[in-house]
Amino acid sequence: MNVGHKDDLSASRLSFGTKFSYGIGDFASNLSWTLVTTFLMFYYTDVYGLAPAVIGLLLLIARLWDGINDPIMGLIMERTKSRFGRFRPYLLYAPIFMAAANILTFRVPELGATGKIIYAYVTYIFLVMAFTAVNVPYGALATVMTQDHNERTTLNSFRMFSTTAATIVIGTLTMPLIQKLGGGNMQKGFFLTALIYSLISIPLFWVVFKNCKELITPSEEQKLTLKGSLLSVIKNLPLVLVLIYTFLTLSTIFGRIGLIVYYCIYNLKRPDLVAMLILVIGVCNLIGIVATPFISARLGKRKTAMAACLMGGIGLMIVFFSSYTNLPMIYFGTIVFGLSGFGVPMLFTLTADCIEYAEWKNGVRAEGAIYSMLSLIMKLASAFVGSVGMTALGFLGYVPNVEQTQTALMGINVICNLVPAIFYFAAIIPLLFYIIDKKFYDKMLKEIYERRALTDSPY
């Protein structure tokens, strides 16, 4: 690795401007992805006119393709050679394609029923492929900006702060924008809103490209093979545990976000609370994320993630057992759930530590392969809750734009609150077996440096 002297690297600090610029990338990314995770299912059922079963199958097919597409993207990145590095070039060009895909996804074509289904499948799969081309290199970029244990936590806190900021912006502005721009026409409103968000995202990614540099690069001696990349994932037990934890945690987050629109409109009979509850979650997430470095420094990364899962699950259980008319208790549970956001940056910092583990264990540094797996798990979680959620709603008798049956209402409550709470509690289990604490990490890094020193020695 071309990383400089041990002491220089371990003591390295990133400037505020660099951290802020990196965080902007997730704001840009979520101008597309939060719009999708929050409103796409509602858009497909109540605006576009697709049956829940059709949407469930679409999400399943897209994820099956991701199982091939994401690892390929990781391998391509690791073999990329340019004057900008391995990951940064993709932040220069891929955002344009993601913006185009996002705009097309929220356009209702004048086609027959079959044509509309085909159009939805093509545009959505195009969108998730473009998202992979942006988000995998963006995530991997953080691992080559610093190897400092605390700096990585802070860097990913900036990232998640921006993610939450995007969630607040989209959660509070989207429905008013749709109504204002559409003038009562939901199709037009969704399209113009997606157009605005998409055009804003492109220059924000260029800020990341300009200000975030790759300081850690593979040595010329490392010949990264396909087998080596796969081993960096398969023989990496801490990474496997983190991926399980990530799947369960993000299934909770995505499941809640994707169904909260239904919960407010049909269970609470308060469409106006969609923006308010998302705002409450977002603000509380921001408070939690700001506190992340302090909590992590005191508890350690693993215990921080575990505490967040426990707290978030309790918050969702409070909402689930609350009467639909008991808004103060629903708000209280929502606040408890939102404050658990201090655990979200751990998804990325724990994954980054697993890259060092792979190099320490197998002598292979494979950021692309590892982050492509994280990206795949993130999208699998989104697809899982979307596919299962839509299928379950259809099975329980959900019909768009009408008064729902008691069975359908209970189903929405279970899928929106109870199931995510159970997943949050379950996410604690893999963390019980995660072994990389600060002491273990420092030991790994010391041995990696010593190994590199021997490799570089002229004797």
Task: Please choose, from the candidates 194, 451, 233, the residue with its C-alpha nearest in 3D space to the C-alpha of residue 354.
Answer: 233
Residue 260 confidence (pLDDT) = 84
In a domain, 334, yes or no: yes
In a domain, 217, yes or no: no
- Count of H helices and E strands in the chain? 19, 0
In a domain, 220, yes or no: no
CB distance 440 to 308 below 8 Å: no
Per-residue pLDDT reduced to its tens digit, 203-262:
999 999 999 988 776 655 555 555 656 666 777 889 999 999 999 998 888 777 777 888
* Beta bridge pairs of residue 217: 2
Task: Please choose, from the candidates 141, 175, 388, 390, the residue with its C-alpha nearest in 3D space to the C-alpha of residue 270.
Answer: 175
Which residue ranges in the chain fall short of pLDDT 50? Answer: 1-11, 457-459
Task: Please choose, from the candidates 350, 342, 395, the residue with its C-alpha nearest in 3D space to the C-alpha of residue 370.
Answer: 350
Lookup: tokens for 253: 């987050």
Domain extent for 249: 15-212+225-453
In a domain, 219, yes or no: no
Residue 315 confidence (pLDDT) = 96
Distance CA 255, CA 159 (A): 21
Non-local CB neighbours of 95 within 8 Å, separated by 6+ positions:
28, 134, 201, 202, 205, 206
Helix axes 438-456, 346-362, angle to 10 degrees: 40
In a domain, 66, yes or no: yes
In a domain, 443, yes or no: yes
* Beta bridge pairs of residue 2: 217
Domain count, the chain: 1
Distance CA 245, CA 240 (A): 9
CATH label of the domain that carries residue 265: 1.20.1250.20
In a domain, 459, yes or no: no
pTM score of the predicted model: 0.70
Task: Please choose, from the candidates 35, 205, 51, the residue with its C-alpha nearest in 3D space to the C-alpha of residue 103.
Answer: 35
Per-residue pLDDT reduced to its tens digit, 313-361:
999 999 999 999 999 999 999 999 999 988 888 888 898 888 888 888 8
Per-residue pLDDT reduced to its tens digit, 134-144:
988 898 888 78
Could you tell me the CA-to-CA distances from 371 to 80, 348, 449 in Å, in that order?
15, 9, 23
Residue 219 confidence (pLDDT) = 55
In a domain, 348, yes or no: yes
Distance CA 245, CA 423 (A): 9
